[in-house]
Amino acid sequence: MPAVEVIDVVKAYTGKVAVDGLSFSAEAGEVFGLIGPNGAGKTTTIRMLMDIIHPDSGQVAIFGETPSQATKDRLGYLPEERGLYKKLTVIETISYLASLKGMDPRTIEAKADALLEQTGMLENKKKKVEELSKGMSQIIQLVVTIVHDPELVILDEPFTGLDPVNTERIKQLLLDLRERGKAVILSTHQMNQVEAVCDRVLMVNDGRAVLYGALDEIRAEHRGHAVIVQTGTEPGAESAAEIPQVDGVVERRTHKDHVELVLDATTTPQRVLETLVEAGVAIDRFEIATPTLHEIFIEKAGAEEGLEVGGEAHDANAE
Amino acid sequence: MTRTPSRTGLILRHEFLHTIKKKGFIILTLAIPVLLLVGIGIFKLASGVVAPPPAVTRIGYIDHIGGFGPLYQPAGIELIRIESEAAATGALTRGELDEYFVIPADYVATGTVARYTLEKELVPPPSVASAIEGFLDSNLLVSEVPAELIGRVLTPVHISTTTLTEEGTVAEDQGGFTNFIIPALFGALLAIALNVSANYVLQSLGVEKENRLMEILLSTVSPRQLLTGKLLGRGAAGLLQVLFWAISIPLLLRLASATIGGALTSIQASPGLLVLGVAYFVLGYLLFAVVSLAIAAICSTVREAQGIAPLFTLMAIAPFWFISLLMFFPNSPIWVVFSFVPFSAPVLVMLRLGITGVPAWQLAVSMAVLVASVLGGLWIAAKLLRIYLLMYGKRPRIREIVRVLRAG
């Protein structure tokens, strides 16, 4: 049984369809990436999983059940718009929010201590939240999200505003959750993080799925008929610009440290490699060009929408 | 996981404990009785220790009619005959007189006397005016009527009122200022408590919205659990405050009676009044709290919400602006109408109960209107909360809110 199953879900607000016939599933033991440009319908989708709003049509199932108070207790959710009680201490905040998740009050502190220790935050346990830095608060928010040991964890932009050390801590926590068989849904604009931790992804645009499947398969599907050649890292070797003309190459794209050669339909990468070796080019790297998720995102979402990050006052329901 | 208390109970407990631990709550709760204690102390000091000895006001008079004598000498006033205006002015400037007046020869025809003093004043002090009036009346009547009659003319009546019941027996509640003190105090405290409690509710939701906790909470509990827990938790804290005042203030007034004596010894607070007071607090609190919740839901920050809330909460204290009119005309139709306006009803009815008898039907209508308003307010607040709780940025306009409510 999938941890999450969404079947043909539609949700509209006044004058705008936010989610339009969306279907996907996420399994236990995987990190599932939910990506898409601003306003694509990601937050609306997550809120339907969390039973905060209800779909107009279609089905949402969490561990095979319709979202309810019972399923809420099995979920941990870190929303994009998040905060903590500034006047409470870290442990008071964790205790209150964990108790609302149905956690036994007697076990909260020990579990909180373990997570605070794991994230390097134990010394801040009795500090008021307002005394913490933004990065520290983010870590505490994540601790609040997972302290009750949820089976499904949904994280909306968990890396925003974090320094590299804290980013690594969060990433490690995500991988730990996957190791322990939890289902993790990660919604973010940071494509490098998606590539680093996600097993499968769903990309939504205008409320519809435009990409769905295993990350490797998606990248393979979007692989163009081109090769990457890197030369010149050895002293005295030719620079990339000195790579000779090769028959069958219809376009040559020069990048900072490599050249991308686009081939015609009849030329194989094997043939290009043989030609370069015969020409005596010292090759440091030769690979079939595979687009990054970032490039696929831009291609799918459209350059204009894909680069529009942040903006004015956020109407959360409209997403 | 073992079975834990209900989510509403957890929210209630959190809100209650969080409120009563606030410095502002503790200071306000203690401040009212402490201020009363300080007031009693100041009264005692002023009346016993530092009160100046009673001074005698020396009033000179120049008699151009002839035959006027000091027949009337009220306490604290000495009337002294002076021969001429020049002599009187000299005595006044030397400090031998406090003031003087001239009785002109045509006084009987004009009724006017000329008064001279070194003080700047709006009107003559009542004691002086009364002394001059008594002096003139007694001298004019001395040759016409017996002395006892002059005494009665000068103090014509002391009205002693007894309130009877419908059955013709003497009523238990005889009214008067002493009976007004407790309801007036209760009304004032009710106004403060309603404002403070509503503000706590507003802050509670406003802070969670401002600090972006709302989505975390709604992914854990339902909006109904969240609102119920908040209303009950903050309301319980407000009720605790009112009960603390309701117990401590009569005790302090009894202390004041022992030291000050007089009117305070006859202060009454009937159980019926206390029951009505608690009922109006509960209904008034619920009304102002749901309005506060609705305001907090549509605003992005606590400060923004606090700017709008007084439009409603000021109506709770509005009856005090018209207290003198209320005291003289407690059953005027305008007060009856405002007793049925939900925002002014709790405090206004308490004040009217202290001044006059409020008919049972008016109490019933006022309570019914409050209950209906609370239910209607809850419906509107729940709807606004569901729509606007997760929205940030520009506050919706009234027209948009109305459209949303109509759309269902």
Looking at residue A274, which CATH number applies to its domain? 3.30.70
Domain boundaries, chain B: 7-37+174-407, 57-154
The amino acid at residue A311 is: G
How buried is A210 (Cβ within 10 angstroms: 0-12 exposed, 13-18 middle, 19+ buried)? middle
Number of structural domains, chain A? 2
Give yes or no for a contact between A300 and A205, defined as CB atoms under 8 angstroms apart.
Answer: yes
Are A244 and A142 in the same domain?
A: no
Q: Which of A83, A97, A317 lies closest to B391 in CB terms?
A: A317
Are A191 and A47 in the same domain?
A: yes
Are A120 and A266 in the same domain?
A: no
Burial letters B183-220, b for 16+ CB under 10 A, else e: bbbbbbbbbbbbbbbbbbbbbbbbbbbbbbbbbbbbbb
Q: Which of B10, B392, B393 lies closest to A100 in CB terms?
A: B10
Please list the helix, strand and coil fractions of chain A in percent, rounded to the nearest 5, in that order: 35, 25, 35
pLDDT band at B1 (very low <50, low <70, confident <90, very high): very low
* Interchain pair A79, B212: CB under 8 A: yes
Are A204 and A249 in the same domain?
A: no
Q: Is B154 helix (H, G, I), strand (E, B) or coil?
A: helix
Q: Which of A14, A52, A317 lies closest to B219 in CB terms?
A: A52
The pTM score is 0.71
Per-residue pLDDT for A318 more than 50? no
Decide if B215 touches A, using CB distance below 8 A: yes
The amino acid at residue B225 is: Q
The more confident residue out of A34 and B149 is A34
pLDDT band at A108 (very low <50, low <70, confident <90, very high): very high
Q: Residue A58 is part of a domain; what is its CATH number?
A: 3.40.50.300
CATH-assigned architecture of domain B57-154: 3-Layer(aba) Sandwich (3.40)
pLDDT digits over A178-191, tens only?
A: 999 999 999 988 88
Integer Cα distance of A179 and A175 in angstroms? 6
The more confident residue out of A161 and A76 is A76
* Interchain pair A313, B394: CB under 8 A: yes
Are A135 and A242 in the same domain?
A: no
Give yes or no for a contact between B288 and B194, defined as CB atoms under 8 angstroms apart.
Answer: yes
Q: Which of A52, A102, A312 lies closest to B4 in CB terms?
A: A102
Q: Which helix (H) or strand (E) covers residue B323, if one does?
A: helix B323-328
pLDDT digits over A31-84, tens only?
A: 999 998 888 899 999 999 988 888 999 999 999 999 888 888 899 999 988 889
* Interchain pair B7, A100: CB under 8 A: yes
Are A18 and A164 in the same domain?
A: yes
Integer Cα distance of A74 and A102 in angstroms? 10
pLDDT digits over A254-301, tens only?
A: 887 888 888 888 888 899 999 988 888 888 888 888 878 888 888 777
User: 């403060």: which residue's tokens?
Assistant: B192
Query: Considering chain A, what percentage of its residues have pLDDT values greater than 70?
Result: 91
Cβ under 8 Å to B: A residues 137-156: 144
Please list the helix, strand and coil fractions of chain B in percent, rounded to the nearest 5, in that order: 65, 5, 30
The more confident residue out of B151 and B377 is B377
Q: Based on DSSP, count helices (H) and strands (E) in chain A, helices before strands.
A: 11, 13
* Interchain pair A313, B392: CB under 8 A: yes
Residues of A in contact with B385 (CB under 8 A): none
Integer Cα distance of A21 and A58 in angstroms? 8
Give yes or no for a contact between B191 and B317, defined as CB atoms under 8 angstroms apart.
Answer: yes
Are A44 and A190 in the same domain?
A: yes
ipTM of the complex: 0.78
A90: tokens are: 């870290």
Integer Cα distance of B350 and A215 in angstroms? 71
* Interchain pair A86, B211: CB under 8 A: yes
| pLDDT confidence of residue B269 | 61
Residues of B in contact with A310 (CB under 8 A): none
Q: Write out the residue range of the structural domain in which residue A210 sits.
A: 4-220+296-318
Are A198 and A245 in the same domain?
A: no
Q: Which helix (H) or strand (E) covers residue A288, if one does?
A: strand A283-288
Decide if B218 touches A, using CB distance below 8 A: yes
Are A49 and A188 in the same domain?
A: yes
Decide if A98 touches B, using CB distance below 8 A: no
Integer Cα distance of A95 and A109 in angstroms? 7
Residues of B in contact with A82 (CB under 8 A): 212-213, 215-216
**Mean pLDDT rounded to a whole number for chain B:** 83
CA distance B197 to chain A (A): 19
**Mean pLDDT rounded to a whole number for chain A:** 86
